[in-house]
């Protein structure tokens, strides 16, 4: 099964990736090969097999709903491109 | 013997006996890094100043009688581990400007034990690759042949340890990223059981597969490192609360009576004949030590690579959605709106292979394809895991090759993702099933190292390390040093 340019563009949009025309053409070719490669799984008889979501047979551990971290917002925001008064700035969302 | 050629265990004795100080040792290795790293490109960041300051503190602690178990010993961290106040790039342009505000648990535990971090090692971008060619910082070169890849994704760690730039380095393994580079550079690479070592502060690739481990030159050193790194961490919800044994204490025990599984499917046409011969020789050494071999089947081995290339990209597409150009990481200039900011920051910040895996993952999780790909892969993952369970009913460890060939040339596989993916055929199964695995040097083909791969049962690291250590007592492959780095 191979993918076409529109499908790849749709996937890129879902993944929030802007691709150049060249990247898109290359992705059509390489993603098609990957999808063909993994498609061999469809041949396997998996009737009655439970999907394995986790490598160990264990239950999800829960912790008490308590505050365990101190607020270090300013320090964490040192890695942000643009902040103001503790808020992250992005291009205008509402007109 | 020169300081750089000693193992972690030997250096620990030297420090203990006052033959040299940690500051002297640290300076000697920093000098060596300065001389040799240009050839290898094994480092993204060298933390010389911090290292010397930590070494001085370690020397003072020793004088005061407060030496930790790794006190004053130099190590490296793969640049996937968050290190407070130090750039943590994950080999990506996306995180080239990221200075971590906190330490990963692995980093914290090794620091608490007194280890001295010399620097952060180069790697495939976001650990996605088997050759270190997807790094934003350029490829790493193999000290055994500078035209060859050191493997990946922990290739900076493996190259640096092989070249004697440090005795030990951390790594991470999602499909073979510790064991394959260890095999290709003649080093020891240990991937523990899933949940054995905390993933907190380790940049996530595929959360149900990722596990932190270590690259060293001896199994004994790996045991020392694991003893410090392993253990329950409440900050990682998949960390397992089970006691950490003294991995060093049982290394000397005999492997007589150990049942070693030899997988029929491992010696098929996919394996280089000469590599296969070295691995068979290594298994014969285990037999000479009293181990018995049992033929076992892993009938779904061939399906492990396609299964992995559904599960891992699916998890990566979710994990890497956090990189949005807003809170940290690369941000594109002049975006016209929020969507444009996201798409351009990610489009410009990620490299080709990372984008390919995000898109593969997005596709297999998208409406209409989820059942056919993702759910199906999870079912096949269960079959693969069941195969291991059946095999381990009859054996204690499974022995085989780590990689199908010795180190390949840089550029050789870079244009063909499937060929590159198939490099991990022997290692991926352990990740899918959550099992521990170790690669141990077992000879050379065309002057390039070959690795013996041992897989154990869940939390069976003691047996793996003991088996590897007993093998190394009989062989000297791990003592060979690449020419140009002697």
Is B180 part of any domain?
yes
Is A36 part of any domain?
yes
Flag whether pLDDT at A95 surpasses 90.
no
Residue A44, number of CB atoms within 10 A of its CB: 17
Q: State the DSSP string of A20-70.
A: -HHHHHHHHHHHHHHHHHHGGGGGS--TTPPP---SS--PPP---S---S-
Flag whether pLDDT at B1 surpasses 80.
no
pLDDT at A1: 65
Is A76 part of any domain?
no
Domain containing A26 — which CATH number?
1.10.20
Q: Does B199 touch chain A (CB under 8 A)?
A: no
Main-chain dihedrals φ then ψ at residue B204, nearest 5 degrees: -75, 135
Test mutation, A1, A16, A62, chain B, max B CBs within 10 A = A16
Is A18 part of any domain?
yes
Contact between A41 and B380 using a beta-carbon 8 Å cutoff: yes
Test mutation, A21, A25, A34, chain B, max B CBs within 10 A = A34
Tell me: the pLDDT tens digits for B198-224? Answer: 999 999 999 999 999 999 999 999 999
The model's confidence at residue B417, banded by pLDDT at 50, 70 and 90, is: confident
Contact between A37 and B209 using a beta-carbon 8 Å cutoff: no
Quote the CA–CA distance of B221 and B227 in Å, as a whole number. 10
Which ipTM value was assigned to this complex? 0.96
User: What chain B residue is nearest to A49 in terms of C-alpha separation?
Assistant: B379
Assess contact for B370 and B364: CB atoms under 8 A.
Answer: yes
The model's confidence at residue B416, banded by pLDDT at 50, 70 and 90, is: confident
User: What chain B residue is nearest to A34 in terms of C-alpha separation?
Assistant: B418
Quote the CA–CA distance of B470 and B396 in Å, as a whole number. 15
Q: Domain range holding B415?
A: 3-260+394-479
Quote the CA–CA distance of B444 and B446 in Å, as a whole number. 6
CB < 8 Å to A14, chain B:
362, 366
pLDDT at B415: 84
Structure tokens at A70: 């101190």
Contact between A17 and B346 using a beta-carbon 8 Å cutoff: yes
In this structure, of A29-38, A86-95, B312-321, the range with the lowest mean pLDDT score is A86-95
pLDDT at A58: 84
Strand B116-121 and strand B74-78: pairing? Answer: parallel
Is A9 part of any domain?
yes
pLDDT at B399: 98
Closest to B81 (Cα-Cα) out of B129, B27, B153, B29 = B153
Is B446 part of any domain?
yes
The model's confidence at residue B323, banded by pLDDT at 50, 70 and 90, is: very high
Domain containing B243 — which CATH number?
3.90.1300.10
Closest to B132 (Cα-Cα) out of B84, B80, B167 = B80
Contact between B309 and A38 using a beta-carbon 8 Å cutoff: yes
Selecting from A49, A55, A79 the residue whose C-beta is nearest the C-beta of B328 gives A79
Counted domains in chain B? 1
pLDDT at B414: 86
User: What chain B residue is nearest to A35 in terms of C-alpha separation?
Assistant: B360
Tell me: the pLDDT tens digits for A34-86? Answer: 999 999 999 999 999 999 988 988 888 888 899 988 999 999 999 999 999 99
**A-B C-beta contacts closer than 8 Å:** 168
DSSP state of B432: H
Tell me: the pLDDT tens digits for B85-126? Answer: 999 999 999 999 999 999 999 999 999 999 999 999 999 999
B66 compared with B419, residue with greater pLDDT: B66
Task: Give the pLDDT mean for B460-470.
Answer: 98
Task: Give the pLDDT mean for B45-71.
Answer: 98
CB < 8 Å to B381, chain A:
51-52
User: What chain B residue is nearest to A51 in terms of C-alpha separation?
Assistant: B379
Strand ranges (DSSP E) for B36-105? 43-46, 74-78
Instruction: Say how far residue B240 (Cα) sits from the centre of its chain.
Output: 20
Q: What is the mean pLDDT of chain B?
A: 97
Q: Domain range holding A19?
A: 5-42
Flag whether pLDDT at B53 surpasses 80.
yes
Residue A37, number of CB atoms within 10 A of its CB: 17
Tell me: the pLDDT tens digits for B248-299? Answer: 999 999 999 999 999 999 998 889 999 999 999 999 999 999 999 999 999 9
Q: In sequence order, which residues have a C-beta less than 8 Å from that of residue B117 and are 6 or more positions away?
A: B47, B50, B51, B54, B74, B75, B76, B77, B83, B107, B110, B111
Strand A83-84 and strand A87-88: pairing? Answer: antiparallel
Is B275 part of any domain?
no
Counted domains in chain A? 1
């Amino acid at each position: 099964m191979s993918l076409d340019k529109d499908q790849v563009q749709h996937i890129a949009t879902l993944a929030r990736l802007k691709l150049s025309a060249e990247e898109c053409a290359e992705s059509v070719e390489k993603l098609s090969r990957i999808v063909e490669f993994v498609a061999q799984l469809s041949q396997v008889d998996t009737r009655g097999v439970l999907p394995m979501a986790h490598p160990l047979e264990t239950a999800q551990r829960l912790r008490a709903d308590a505050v365990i971290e101190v607020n270090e917002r300013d320090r964490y925001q040192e890695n942000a491109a643009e902040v103001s008064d503790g808020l992250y700035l992005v291009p205008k969302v509402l007109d | 013997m020169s300081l750089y050629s000693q193992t972690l265990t030997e250096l620990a004795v030297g420090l203990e006996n006052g033959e040299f100080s940690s500051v002297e040792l640290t300076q000697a290795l920093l000098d060596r890094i300065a001389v040799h790293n240009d050839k290898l490109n094994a480092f993204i960041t060298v933390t010389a100043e911090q290292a010397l300051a930590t070494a001085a503190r370690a020397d003072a602690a020793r004088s005061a009688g407060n030496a930790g178990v790794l006190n004053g010993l130099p190590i490296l961290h793969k640049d996937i581990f968050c290190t407070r106040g130090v750039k943590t790039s994950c080999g990506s342009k996306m995180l080239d400007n990221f200075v971590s505000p906190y330490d990963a648990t692995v980093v914290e535990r090794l620091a608490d034990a007194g280890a001295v971090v010399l620097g952060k090692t180069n790697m495939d971008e976001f650990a996605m690759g088997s050759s270190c060619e997807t790094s934003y910082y350029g490829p790493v070169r193999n000290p055994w042949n500078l035209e060859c890849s050191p493997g990946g994704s922990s290739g900076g760690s493996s190259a640096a340890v092989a070249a004697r730039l440090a005795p030990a380095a951390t790594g991470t393994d999602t499909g073979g990223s510790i064991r394959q580079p260890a095999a290709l550079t003649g080093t020891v690479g240990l991937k523990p059981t899933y949940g054995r070592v905390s993933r907190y502060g380790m940049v996530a690739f595929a959360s149900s597969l990722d596990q932190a481990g270590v690259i060293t030159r001896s199994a004994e050193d790996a045991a020392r490192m694991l003893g410090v790194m392993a253990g329950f961490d409440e900050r990682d919800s998949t960390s397992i609360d089970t006691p950490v044994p003294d991995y060093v204490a049982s290394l000397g025990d005999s492997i007589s009576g150990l049942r070693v599984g030899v997988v029929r499917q491992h010696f098929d046409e996919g394996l280089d004949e000469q590599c296969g011969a070295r691995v068979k020789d290594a298994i014969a050494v285990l037999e000479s030590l009293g181990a018995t071999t049992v033929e076992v089947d892993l009938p779904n081995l061939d399906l492990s690579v396609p299964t992995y290339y559904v599960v891992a990209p699916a998890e990566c597409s979710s994990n890497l959605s956090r990189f949005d150009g807003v809170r940290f990481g690369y941000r594109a200039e002049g975006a016209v709106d929020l969507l444009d900011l996201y798409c351009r920051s990610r489009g410009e910040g990620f490299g080709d292979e990372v984008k390919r895996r995000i898109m593969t993952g997005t596709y297999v999780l998208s409406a209409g394809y989820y059942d056919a790909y993702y759910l199906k892969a999870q079912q096949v993952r269960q079959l693969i895991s069941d195969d291991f369970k059946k095999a381990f009913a009859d054996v204690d460890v499974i022995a085989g090759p780590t990689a199908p060939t010795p180190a390949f040339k840089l550029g050789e596989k870079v244009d063909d993702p499937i060929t590159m993916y198939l490099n991990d055929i022997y290692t991926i199964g352990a990740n899918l099933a959550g099992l521990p695995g170790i690669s141990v040097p077992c000879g050379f083909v065309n002057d390039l190292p070959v690795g013996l791969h041992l897989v154990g049962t869940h939390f069976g690291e003691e047996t793996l390390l003991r088996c590897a250590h007993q093998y190394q007592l009989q062989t000297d492959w791990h003592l060979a040093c690449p020419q140009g780095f002697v």
